[in-house]
């Protein structure tokens, strides 16, 4: 039986304009990543490792791709107790619009409150869905208690341009947000008591502040004692197409791959059965990650290929990310390209971007000779 002390809330929101067309029909958290995973898998795996039984996912849009991936949460053991589970609350953008423009007076945060009440836990960990990281929640709890903090936030040393910045005093407490200090980046993990969350939600309602819980915490956190917990593991925000491409390419380097996948927290994802990948005679594959159930009859270099990818004879793939279900026709050439799921590239087509301007082909597109993006 689990001996957990906390529940979890995931906020699957954030600016996605810089990630189109990859986020046209999915939140950032459900982006395919590293051949067989989704970005949400890394935080769900952290929760599973910490024996979290109950988690709520608040989604800006419809969340169909999230539902399809996480289902009941059984892969991460969220279905192992009567009171536990993985609960989803979608269309938060529309809900926010209604409360602001229709001046609704009922409790905007009723879903948060009901989830927290039914979880029957003392603490809650609140995370975002746009950062690839694994966190030791039990270590955060120990730090939180040792510092006698009201709120604990996690940070990573370094200036990550699209992340909020913290100023931390000599005792390890946060004294300002987005001031002049540029080398301490907030990694969007918050740890606090459930009772304090309800207090923060009361303040948000009183001031008509209708945002996700991460924003609520940041809005009012300096009314409290806030401790900073340093995160030293693999951490990469995915806020732009360039971010997604660069982080994907990092996984071709053994040190980065091991830091993410061979640490103390096993990465769990939705299981799918499939045949081993077939490589035809004389193909050249260099520095590539290729998932199962693929057919490789062309050359692949410095690239990541997902499940069920077909690479026809004479084709050449370099410096690219090819998602599941794509077909690369005979003698086609790809260089610095991201193919979303289900793309078909016709024979003899050449697609070429650059390292700093990667070409992205939207989901289920058929690319013919003369294709213009």
Percentage of residues of the chain with pLDDT beyond 90: 80
pLDDT interval class at 4 (50, 70, 90): low
Average pLDDT over residues 104-120: 93
Q: What is the pLDDT of residue 82?
A: 63
C-alpha to C-alpha distance for 208 and 206, rounded to whole angstroms = 6
Q: Length of the chain in residues, anyone?
A: 373
Q: What is the pLDDT of residue 373?
A: 64
Q: What is the pLDDT of residue 209?
A: 95
What is this structure's pTM? 0.94
Q: What is the pLDDT of residue 1?
A: 45
DSSP state of 76: G
Q: Going by C-beta distance under 8 Å and a sequence separation of 6 or more, which residues neighbour residue 345?
A: 326, 327, 328, 329, 332, 334, 339, 351, 361, 367
Which regions of 174-302 does DSSP assign to beta strands (E)?
174-177, 184-193, 226-230, 235-237, 278-279, 285-286, 289-290, 295-296, 299-301
- DSSP character string of 349-373: -EEE-BTTB-EEE-TT-EE-TT---
Closest CA to 150 of 225, 215, 203: 225
pLDDT at 363 over 80: yes
pLDDT at 176 over 60: yes
Q: What is the pLDDT of residue 305?
A: 99
C-alpha to C-alpha distance for 201 and 67, rounded to whole angstroms = 26
Query: Residue 9 in 3-state DSSP?
Result: strand
Alpha-carbon distances of 95 from 83, 98, 126, 295, 318, rounded to whole Å? 27, 5, 20, 45, 44
Indicate the range of 216-220, 231-235, 270-274, 369-373 predicted with least confidence. 369-373
C-alpha to C-alpha distance for 120 and 2, rounded to whole angstroms = 14
- DSSP character string of 52-90: --EEEEEESS--HHHHHHHTTSGGGTTTSSSS-EEEEE-
Closest CA to 265 of 144, 86, 132: 132
Alpha-carbon distances of 360 from 19, 59, 115, 239, 245, rounded to whole Å? 10, 25, 39, 15, 10
More confident residue, 176 or 81: 176
Domains and CATH numbers, the chain: 6-261 (3.90.550.10), 278-367 (2.160.10.10)
Across-strand partners of 338?
Answer: 321, 360
Q: Going by C-beta distance under 8 Å and a sequence separation of 6 or more, which residues neighbour residue 195?
A: none
pLDDT at 2 over 60: no
Q: What is the pLDDT of residue 180?
A: 72
Closest CA to 351 of 363, 341, 360: 360
pLDDT at 14 over 60: no
Question: What are the pLDDT digits (tens) for 274-324?
Answer: 899 999 999 999 999 999 999 999 999 999 999 999 999 999 999 999 999
Question: What are the pLDDT digits (tens) for 322-347?
Answer: 999 999 999 999 999 999 999 999 99
> In this structure, how many other beta carbons lie within 10 angstroms of the beta carbon of residue 133?
22
Average pLDDT over residues 166-189: 92
Q: What is the pLDDT of residue 181?
A: 77
Average pLDDT over residues 80-89: 81
| Centroid of chain to Cα 154 | 16
Give the pairing type, strands 184-193 and 151-157.
antiparallel
């Amino acid at each position: 039986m689990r001996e957990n002390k906390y529940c979890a809330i995931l906020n699957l929101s954030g600016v996605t304009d810089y990630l189109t067309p990859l986020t046209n029909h999915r939140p950032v958290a459900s982006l395919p990543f590293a051949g067989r995973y989704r970005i949400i898998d890394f935080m769900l795996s952290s929760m599973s490792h910490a024996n979290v039984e109950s988690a709520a996912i608040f989604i800006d849009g419809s969340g169909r791709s999230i539902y399809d991936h996480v289902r009941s949460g059984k892969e991460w053991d969220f279905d192992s107790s009567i009171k536990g589970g993985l609960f989803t609350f979608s269309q938060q953008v529309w809900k926010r619009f209604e409360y602001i423009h229709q001046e609704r007076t009922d409790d905007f945060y009723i879903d948060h409150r009901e989830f927290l009440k039914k979880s029957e836990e003392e603490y809650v960990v609140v995370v975002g869905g746009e950062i690839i990281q694994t966190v030791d929640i039990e270590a955060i709890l120990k730090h939180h208690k040792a510092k006698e903090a009201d709120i604990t936030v996690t940070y990573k040393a370094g200036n990550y341009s699209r992340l909020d910045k913290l100023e931390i005093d000599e005792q390890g407490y946060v004294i300002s947000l987005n001031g002049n200090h540029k080398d301490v980046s907030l990694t969007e993990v918050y740890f606090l008591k459930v009772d304090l969350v309800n207090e923060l939600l009361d303040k948000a309602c009183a001031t008509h502040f209708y945002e996700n819980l991460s924003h609520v915490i940041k809005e009012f956190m300096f009314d409290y004692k806030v401790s900073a917990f340093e995160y030293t593991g693999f951490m990469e925000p995915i806020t732009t197409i360039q971010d997604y491409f660069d982080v994907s390419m990092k996984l071709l380097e053994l040190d980065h791959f091991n830091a993410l996948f061979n640490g103390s927290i096993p990465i769990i994802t939705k299981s799918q059965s499939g045949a081993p990948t077939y490589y035809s005679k004389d193909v050249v594959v260099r520095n590539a990650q290729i998932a199962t159930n693929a057919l490789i009859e062309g050359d692949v270099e410095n690239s990541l290929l997902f499940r069920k990818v077909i690479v026809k004879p004479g084709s050449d793939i370099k410096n690219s990310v090819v998602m599941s279900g794509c077909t690369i026709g005979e003698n086609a050439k790809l260089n610095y390209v991201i193919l979303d799921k289900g793309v078909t590239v016709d024979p003899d087509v050449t697609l070429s971007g650059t390292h700093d301007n990667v070409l992205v082909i939207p989901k289920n597109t058929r690319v013919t000779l003369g294709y213009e993006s």
